[in-house]
């Protein structure tokens, strides 16, 4: 199995006719993802390499049966694009766009939660999601991910860091470990999907036997995840926290990765996860090695 997306997921690309939307939309289709349409009200009735373009998400959903959307819209238009997707009937929205105003993120996060409780948003500012061999939505390179195998010990990945999402996938592939789903939740202050959302889904997935978690400095998401792991997760985890040498008060990469007032430090997050029984690595490679140990133990 996989969480959130699989071979039956049908995806619309909002922004398919733009350069980035086109590039990744076609790349995802070539991977095997069911990319069934794109949207652009000015180019409705045309196509992008055989993928039809519709005037709106609602029209695309009606014509194709799509249940997911991937947003490659400039930051200023993301608020409207997210709501168009939800109102158009999409159940899973992946927003790749970075630089979305935090005020907009907070607004549509709460709007979705209140008025569209069955719609899941991933991102903004995230690499997307991949269930290897089944579905790839976003900018993750499919060739660095090993498909989960029936009867084998398979791992789920959830990562707050974009680049380290790819490293986690590749570290496991080099060790011959399959991945059920890898979720890049993004590092913005108001992510649509949290660590806890993914941990809960992986815990419920019978084909995911262990979980790898990549966090980073800033905020309290990792500490909250540690509490959830302590109370509600039975599967073994390895983890890495990025930003261990970051100075307090200095923005590192993006708005979510900042240590302020002595809170959000890597040390505090590592301590909380370790106390919850997670095996925490000093670097991404060590986190991968710790997962190899977990897989060996589960295979014995």
Q: Per-residue pLDDT for 153 more than 80? A: yes
Say which CATH topology domain 141-299 has.
Rossmann fold (3.40.50)
Q: Count of CB atoms within 10 A of residue 89's CB?
A: 16
Which pLDDT band, with edges at 50, 70 and 90, does 264 fall under? confident
Structure tokens at 254: 């993006």
pLDDT over 90 for what percent of the chain?
Answer: 87
> 34-38, 64-68, 86-90, 281-285: which range is least confident on average?
281-285
Domain 10-122 belongs to what architecture? Answer: 3-Layer(aba) Sandwich (3.40)
What average pLDDT does this structure show over 165-180?
A: 95
pLDDT digits (tens, 9 = 90+) for 224-261: 999 999 999 999 999 999 888 766 665 555 545 555 55
Which DSSP string corresponds to 207-247? T--EEEEEEESSSSHHHHHHHHHHHH--S-EEEEEE-TTPP
Which pLDDT band, with edges at 50, 70 and 90, does 85 fall under? very high
Taking the C-alpha atoms of residue 27 and residue 128, their distance in angstroms, rounded to an integer, is 13
The reply to whether 141-299 shares the fold of 10-122 is: yes
Taking the C-alpha atoms of residue 11 and residue 288, their distance in angstroms, rounded to an integer, is 31
Q: Where exactly are the structural domains of the chain? A: 10-122, 141-299
Catalytic annotation present for 254: yes
Cβ contact 120:95 at 8 Å = no
Question: Helix axis angle, 162-174 relative to 284-299, nearest 10°?
Answer: 40
Taking the C-alpha atoms of residue 270 and residue 129, their distance in angstroms, rounded to an integer, is 25
Mean pLDDT of the chain: 94
Residue 219's pLDDT is 86
Closest CA to 241 of 208, 278, 204, 205: 278
* Total-model pTM: 0.95
Residue 250's pLDDT is 58
What average pLDDT does this structure show over 152-158?
A: 98
Taking the C-alpha atoms of residue 82 and residue 167, their distance in angstroms, rounded to an integer, is 29
Residue 14's pLDDT is 98
Residue 189's pLDDT is 86
pLDDT digits (tens, 9 = 90+) for 100-118: 999 999 999 999 999 999 9
Cβ contact 244:266 at 8 Å = yes
Q: Exposed e or buried b for every residue in 136-151, given b needs 16+ CB within 10 A?
A: bbbbbebebbbebeee
Taking the C-alpha atoms of residue 273 and residue 226, their distance in angstroms, rounded to an integer, is 5
Phi, psi of 203 (to 5 degrees): -60, -35
Taking the C-alpha atoms of residue 236 and residue 231, their distance in angstroms, rounded to an integer, is 13
Q: Per-residue pLDDT for 180 more than 90? A: yes
Cβ contact 180:154 at 8 Å = yes
Residue 205's pLDDT is 98
């Amino acid at each position: 199995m996989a969480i959130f997306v699989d071979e039956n997921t049908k995806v619309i690309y909002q922004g398919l006719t733009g350069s980035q939307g086109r590039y990744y939309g076609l790349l995802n289709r070539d991977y095997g993802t069911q990319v069934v349409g794109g949207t652009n009200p000015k180019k409705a009735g045309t196509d992008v390499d055989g993928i039809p373009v519709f005037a709106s998400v609602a029209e695309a959903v009606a014509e194709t049966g799509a249940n997911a959307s991937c947003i490659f819209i400039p930051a200023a238009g993301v608020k409207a694009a997210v709501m168009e997707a939800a109102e158009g009937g999409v159940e899973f929205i992946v927003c790749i766009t970075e630089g979305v105003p935090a005020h907009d993120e907070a607004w549509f996060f709460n709007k979705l939660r209140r008025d569209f409780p069955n719609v899941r948003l991933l991102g903004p500012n995230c690499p997307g999601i991949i269930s290897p061999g089944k579905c790839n939505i976003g900018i993750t390179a499919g060739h660095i991910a090993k498909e989960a195998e029936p009867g084998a010990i398979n791992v789920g990945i959830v990562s707050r860091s974009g680049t380290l999402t790819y490293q986690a996938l590749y570290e496991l592939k080099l060790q011959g470990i399959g991945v059920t789903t890898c979720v890049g939740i993004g590092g913005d202050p108001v992510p649509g999907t949290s660590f806890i959302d993914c941990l809960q889904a992986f815990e419920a997935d019978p084909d995911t036997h262990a979980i790898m978690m990549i966090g980073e400095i800033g905020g309290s998401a990792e500490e909250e995840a540690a509490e959830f792991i302590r109370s509600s997760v039975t599967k073994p985890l390895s983890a890495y926290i990025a930003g261990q040498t970051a100075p307090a008060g200095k923005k590192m990469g993006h708005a979510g990765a900042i240590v302020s007032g002595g809170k959000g430090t890597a040390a505090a997050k590592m301590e909380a996860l370790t106390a919850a029984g997670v095996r925490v690595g000093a670097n991404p490679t060590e986190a991968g090695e710790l997962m190899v140990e977990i897989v060996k133990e589960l295979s014995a």
